[in-house]
Structure 1
Amino acid sequence: MARLRAILVAAAVGAGAALVAVSAATVAHADTQICTQYGSTTIQGGKYVVQNNNWGDTTTQCINVTGTGFSVASASHNKAQNGAPGAYPSVYAGCHYANCSTGSGLPMAVSNSQFNSIATSVSMTYPNNGSVYDASYDIWFDPTARTDGQNTGAELMVWLNHTGSVQPVGSRVATVSLAGGTWDVWYGNSGWNVISYVRQSATNSISFNVSSFWNDIVNRGYGQRSWYMTSVQAGFEPWVNGTGLAVDNFTYSVGGGGGNPTPSPTPTRTASPTPTPTSGGGGGSACRVSYAVQQWQGGFTANVTVANTGSAAVNGWRLGFTFPGDQRITNGWNATVSQSGAAVTATNLAYNAAIPPGGSTSFGMQGTWTGSDASPTSFTLNGSACATG
């Protein structure tokens, strides 16, 4: 059914979080309540910003801020479901109208090799009180390293759940399987590209690498690899009521850590052959591998770190391991990853072939599972066994 696109262009469903400036952040304590229209505060030492962001309504909305997210304490929205929502209460990492969290590394160029390792997760609570809303990520991209004002590149929305008859901006253009789910892809334009992934089967939690969705967007021609990601936000767009909606836990990390990454130019990738894997005097056995996994029902992402604990450089590497479960890899980054049955091989790219003594390199994978997502317990580097942990 057609929507009132004139309203959407003016009000930008899913884009309201960026239409107005927010107030300066203050230090939050558990269960701090915010009722001011654009009030915000920080949690976890400034790592994340929580914002009320009642941008599309004149009624009062109050949120209770916790150490890991927030809940909507009271709301009385009653917006037409074929128009724009009333608000976007949310928690985020990055910059939103000059209100920036600390340690996110954002804005970050999509071409930066660290971008592929950016992971986020959220768990949510949905009330059974007749509220009409979408529960969604709002992830912003700009052609410049913008920290303030309206982003003009692309808005990536990831809808975990929605009620009523609400729909994203634009129209449905495709269906894809990503991040452990099947999604309807919607595209519209509100002065910037709005790409929404609506999960066909609702969920209250998800963990994913941002690049898995962004690569799909670029392949469809809606985004550019020369752009910058400016913020990763998770929350709710309420049309009716909204009381009781809650982000129970939100995480954002770069390279499996979440510290303070330093954006740097992407290493130049050449067409030169991959070096033949060799090891110095320490041999391939002088290595340690750590395997960090984030999983949800039916899907997972994993970050694998390979450390050279020997005294000589590793020049070209090939890591092998076997899944003890029934995992199937769907994509990887920072390595060429292949799978045959349960056996997996990851081979360096041109720019990360060398691992100096005492150094390490990391790569990531995304995949699916049915019966078991048990982590592998043994690894080989260039044919020799590695320590784990």
Structure 2
Amino acid sequence: MRHVHIYLIIGALLAVGLFAAPAQAAPVLCEKYGATTVQSGRYVVINNVWGADTAQCIDVNQSGGFTVTQAAHNKPTNGAPASYPAIYAGCHYANCSTGSNLPMQASAGGFGSLRSSVSMTYPSSGTWDAAYDIWFDPTPRTDGQNTGAEIMIWLNKQGSIQPVGSQVGTVNLAGGTWQVWFGNIGWNVISYVRTSATSSLDFAIDTFYADAISRGHAQRSWYLTSVQAGFEPWVGGAGLAVNSFSFGTSGGGTDTTPPSTPGNPVASATTSTGTTLTWGASTDTGGSGLAGYDVLRATGDTFTRVGGGTTTSFTDTGLTPATAYRYRVRARDGAGNLSPESGTVTVTTLSGGGGGSCSVTPTTQNAWDSGYVIQPVTVTSTTARTSWTVTFALPAGHTITGMWNAGYTVSGGTVTVRNLAHNGAIGPGAATSFGYQASRPAGNTQVPAGYTCA
């Protein structure tokens, strides 16, 4: 079962002006794609019966909301909903509210302070969900279908319906516990379904977006284009109501208290190219709830964010062997407040090998203007093993012309070497070796470095 949030026949609708907001806001909208503005254009209200031909009317509340007064829908619950009546700030298929400052890039300085709040009323009948629909696009799009991420926040639902895709996790955000769902329908859909229903929500937009980024489903370079709150009815829907809605830099929230300082990070499982950090949890007493953590890294004087998430651990990869890195951690809450930074831990990556149990020592046997021979490349193990893999970076323009005592593949600039059947087993303290020859551009004196064994 899933719903698909695609708005159809857009070109024709724009051509006939169905998305154009009337100068005088109508008290009731019954047109299939009827739209009007409230609060002097600050928000747009849309009837938006995009998935059915059944009747639907909404009574618009000029203070910032609407009530579904008629809904004759009867859609199968294993398909798309009938409609998405909603109130929104931003741009939806070229119909834009005023003063929202959207689109806004999620990396912009003001993005973290964007907030929204909603209060809703639900009927006891019908099959529906009550959800925010927050859209992101790789470009500052004001018209057409967004292709980045669709963040859906389900405050409540009734009936046998579920979001797009499948459940991929559970997370505590914005004062509640949420199931996390993911699917792709031409763009990423990340849905948060509250495990205990609520009729109101006040949160920072980045609370949920940062979680989506940490899961690899969204990007900080994308643009927020609209923030919408409404309902997806499959069956019935009369009585669903948005009582109030807000969007802006304050959103009605009053939380100005930052979270507590996280515990100092501790490093473990450090290799030549990565390390894992863990730290003590932060707490938030301001009311908006702990939203997650930022991991900051420096090799010089300046710390920059390299990742984070909602858990108290982070694995940093792609590091340079035999290099010192310093790390700190900070926490952020649902209002965008940042905690003081934790103390610093310094981590020095290994010169080669996988955590000390396996090491690699290459020897340059011969080198000339356009090539070289590396032999032996000695693989030593401190523990018994039945196989081994060595990786190293091949400089640009270099090509391996032969290898003996091992097999290999090349992907991009990374060479992956694997044992043959006769030399995979290495006893504790024992070693084996392989060798190879490579060509290089004339005048280039480089040889590969950064060998890692696993």
TM over 0.5: yes
Deviation at 1:366, TM superposition (A): 3.1
Q: Secondary structure at the match of 1:77?
A: coil
CA contact (8 A) 2:65 2:245 kept: yes
CA contact (8 A) 1:302 1:366 kept: no
Report the equivalent of 2:5.
15
Deviation at 1:27, TM superposition (A): 3.8
CA contact (8 A) 2:127 2:237 kept: yes
User: What amino acid does structure 2 have at the position aligned with 1:229?
Assistant: L
Match of 2:290 among 304, 327, 330: 330
Report the equivalent of 2:134.
139
Report the equivalent of 2:441.
none
Does 1:109 find its partner at 2:105? yes
CA contact (8 A) 2:52 2:82 kept: yes
Report the equivalent of 2:369.
none
CA contact (8 A) 1:125 1:246 kept: yes
Deviation at 1:163, TM superposition (A): 0.6
Aligned pairs for 1:1-389 (under 5 A) are 3=1, 13=3, 15-17=5-7, 20=10, 21=13, 23-29=19-25, 32-67=27-62, 68-128=64-124, 130-254=125-249, 256=250, 293-294=253-254, 301-302=255-256, 330-331=290-291, 365-366=333-334
Q: Taking structure 2 as the reference length, what is the TM-score of the superposition?
A: 0.56
Report the equivalent of 2:340.
none
Distance in 2, matches of 1:156 and 1:191, equals 14
Closer/same/farther in 2, CA of residues 106 and 303 from structure 1, 3 Å limit: farther
Q: Secondary structure at the match of 1:217?
A: helix
Distance in 2, matches of 1:50 and 1:15, equals 17
Deviation at 1:330, TM superposition (A): 1.8
Distance in 2, matches of 1:18 and 1:203, equals 31
Distance in 1, matches of 2:286 and 2:39, equals 36
Closer/same/farther in 2, CA of residues 233 and 51 from structure 1, 3 Å limit: same
CA contact (8 A) 2:171 2:179 kept: yes
Post-superposition CA distance 1:273-321 (Å, at most 9, x none): xxxxxxxxxxxxxxxxxxx844xxxxxx4389xxxxxxxxxxxxxxxxx
Distance in 2, matches of 1:82 and 1:18, equals 19
Distance in 2, matches of 1:17 and 1:124, equals 24
User: What amino acid does structure 2 have at the position aligned with 1:178?
Assistant: L
Distance in 2, matches of 1:187 and 1:93, equals 24
User: What amino acid does structure 1 have at the position aligned with 2:69?
Assistant: A
Distance in 1, matches of 2:180 and 2:293, equals 23
Distance in 1, matches of 2:44 and 2:288, equals 36
User: What amino acid does structure 2 have at the position aligned with 1:40?
Assistant: A
Distance in 2, matches of 1:210 and 1:140, equals 11
Residue-pair matches, total: 273
Deviation at 1:43, TM superposition (A): 0.3
Distance in 2, matches of 1:232 and 1:18, equals 19
Deviation at 1:326, TM superposition (A): 8.4
Q: Taking structure 1 as the reference length, what is the TM-score of the superposition?
A: 0.65
Q: Percent identity?
A: 54
Distance in 1, matches of 2:29 and 2:58, equals 5
Distance in 1, matches of 2:45 and 2:118, equals 14
The structure with the larger Rg is 2
Q: Which has the higher contact order (CA 8 A, sep 6+)?
A: 1
Regions of 4+ moved over 2 Å: 16-22, 301-304, 325-329, 331-334, 363-367
Post-superposition CA distance 1:216-246 (Å, at most 9, x none): 0001000111110100000000000000100
Distance in 1, matches of 2:163 and 2:53, equals 22
CA contact (8 A) 2:173 2:334 kept: no
Q: Secondary structure at the match of 1:186?
A: strand
Distance in 1, matches of 2:201 and 2:77, equals 26
Post-superposition CA distance 1:166-206 (Å, at most 9, x none): 00000000000000100000000110000000000000000
Q: Secondary structure at the match of 1:124?
A: strand
Distance in 2, matches of 1:148 and 1:87, equals 19
CA contact (8 A) 1:136 1:158 kept: yes
CA contact (8 A) 1:332 1:365 kept: yes
